[in-house]
Amino acid sequence: MPLVLPEKRRAVAADLRRLLGSEKVRDDVPTLTAYAVDASIYKIVPQAVVLAESEADIQTSVTYAMRTGVPLTPRAAGTNLTGSAIGSGIILDISRLNRILELNRDERWVRVQPGIVFAELNKRLACHSLLFGPDPSSGDMCKLGGMLANNSSGPHTLRYGSVKDNVQALRVCLSSGDWLEARRYGLDDPALHAVLATHPSLQTVLELVRQQADLIRAKRPTVSKNSCGYNLFGLVDGLDQAVFDLPKLFVGSEGTLGVISEATLRLVDRPKASITALIHFRSLEDVGEAVPQLLALSPSALEVMDTNTLNLIGRDRHGIPSDAAATLLAEFDQDGGLDSLREQATRLTALCHRYRLSSDPVVAFDQGQRDQLWNARKALYPTLYRYDQRKKPINYVDDVVVRADQISELIRYLEEFFRAQHIAVAIFGHIGNGNAHIVPLLDVNDRDDFARMVDGYRAIHQTVLTRFSGSICGEHGDGRVRAEFVRRMFGEELYDLFVQVKRSLDPTRVMNPGVKISDTSFTEHIDYTRLSKACATCGKCNSVCPVYDVFQSEDMSSRGWFEIVTSKEYSYLNSKRVVEACLNCKSCRTICPADVDVSELILKRRAEHPNRMAGAVFALHARPWLFDPLLKAAARTQWLWDRPRPRAWLEWITRPLMRRIAETARFPRDMVMPRLATRHLRERYPELVRIGASGPTSIAYFHGCAANYLDDGVGDAVIAVLRRHGVEPALPVQRCSGTPIQTYGHVKLVLEGARHNLASLERYDTVVTGCASCTLMLKDYPQLFEAGPEREAADRLARRVKHITEFVAESKEAPDQSTGTARRRKVTYHSSCHLRAAGVTKAPRKVLAALPGVEFIEMEDADRCAGGAGTYILKDYDTAAKIFERKRRAIEDSGADVVATSCPACMIQLNNGLRGTVQVKHVAELLRDSFESAQESRGTDPSSKR
Ligand SMILES: Cc1cc2nc3c(=O)[nH]c(=O)nc-3n(C[C@H](O)[C@H](O)[C@H](O)COP(=O)(O)OP(=O)(O)OC[C@H]3O[C@@H](n4cnc5c(N)ncnc54)[C@H](O)[C@@H]3O)c2cc1C
Ligand code: SF4
Ligand code: SF4
Identify whether the C-beta of residue 505 lies closer than 8 Å to the C-beta of residue 260. Answer: no
Going by alpha carbons, the residue nearest to atom 4 of ligand 2 is 541
Q: Note the pLDDT of residue 823.
A: 64
Identify whether the C-beta of residue 699 lies closer than 8 Å to the C-beta of residue 765. Answer: yes
Residue 471 pairs in a beta bridge with 401
Cα torsion at 901, 907, 909, 915 (round to 10°)? 110
Residue 803 pairs in a beta bridge with 769
Identify whether the C-beta of residue 163 lies closer than 8 Å to the C-beta of residue 251. Answer: yes
Q: Does ligand 3 come within 6 angstroms of the Cβ of 546?
A: yes
Q: Does ligand 3 come within 6 angstroms of the Cβ of 588?
A: yes
Q: How far is the CA of 39 from the centre of ligand 2 (A)?
A: 10
Q: Note the pLDDT of residue 940.
A: 55
Q: Is 862 exposed, middle or buried (0-12, 13-18, 19+ CB in 10 A)?
A: buried
Distance from C-alpha of 738 to C-alpha of 704, rounded to nearest angstrom: 10
Q: Name the closest ligand to CA 557.
A: 3
Distance from C-alpha of 842 to C-alpha of 352, rounded to nearest angstrom: 33
Going by alpha carbons, the residue nearest to atom 2 of ligand 3 is 585
Inter-helix orientation angle 598-607/558-565, to 10°: 50
- Please enumerate in sequence order all residues whose Cβ is within 8 A of that of 587, keeping only pairs 6 or more positions apart, or say none: 541, 544, 545, 546, 558, 833, 836, 837, 863, 864, 865
CA-537 nearest atom, ligand 2: 5
Q: Name the closest ligand to CA 592.
A: 2
Question: What is residue 49's DSSP assignment?
Answer: E
Q: How far is the CA of 233 from the centre of ligand 1 (A)?
A: 22
**Amino acid identity, position 735:** R
Identify whether the C-beta of residue 251 lies closer than 8 Å to the C-beta of residue 477. Answer: no
Identify whether the C-beta of residue 290 lies closer than 8 Å to the C-beta of residue 406. Answer: no
Residue spans of the chain under pLDDT 70: 1-9, 692-696, 818-823, 938-946
SS3 50: strand
Query: What are φ and ψ of residue 816, in 5° steps?
Result: -60, 135
Q: Name the closest ligand to CA 594.
A: 2
Identify whether the C-beta of residue 460 lies closer than 8 Å to the C-beta of residue 397. Answer: yes
The DSSP annotation for 93-117 comes to: E-TT---EEEEETTTTEEEE-TTSB
- Beta strands (DSSP E) in 41-85 are 48-51, 72-75
Whether the CA torsion 223, 224, 225, 231 is positive or negative: it is positive
Identify whether the C-beta of residue 73 lies closer than 8 Å to the C-beta of residue 47. Answer: no
Distance from C-alpha of 189 to C-alpha of 757, rounded to nearest angstrom: 78
Distance from C-alpha of 513 to C-alpha of 70, rounded to nearest angstrom: 10
Nearest to 91, CA basis, from 103, 104, 76 = 76
Half-sphere exposure of 716 (CA within 13 A, CB side): 20
Distance from C-alpha of 945 to C-alpha of 620, rounded to nearest angstrom: 30
pLDDT tens across 595-635, in order? 999 999 999 999 999 999 999 999 999 888 999 999 999 99
Cα dist from 637 to 600, 640, 676, 681, whole Å: 39, 5, 10, 18
pLDDT tens across 634-661, in order? 999 999 999 999 999 999 999 999 999 9
Cα dist from 227 to 248, 616, 766, 865, whole Å: 11, 59, 57, 37
Q: Does ligand 2 come within 6 angstroms of the Cβ of 853?
A: no
Nearest to 215, CA basis, from 520, 500, 470, 479 = 500
SS3 171: strand
Q: Does ligand 2 come within 6 angstroms of the Cβ of 432?
A: no
Q: How far is the CA of 147 from the centre of ligand 1 (A)?
A: 5
Going by alpha carbons, the residue nearest to atom 6 of ligand 3 is 588
Whether the CA torsion 32, 607, 548, 913 is positive or negative: it is negative
Q: How many other C-beta atoms can be found within 10 angstroms of the C-beta atom of residue 659?
A: 13
Distance from C-alpha of 680 to C-alpha of 711, rounded to nearest angstrom: 8
Q: Does ligand 1 come within 6 angstroms of the Cβ of 76?
A: yes
Identify whether the C-beta of residue 402 lies closer than 8 Å to the C-beta of residue 436. Answer: yes
Q: How far is the CA of 561 from the centre of ligand 3 (A)?
A: 9
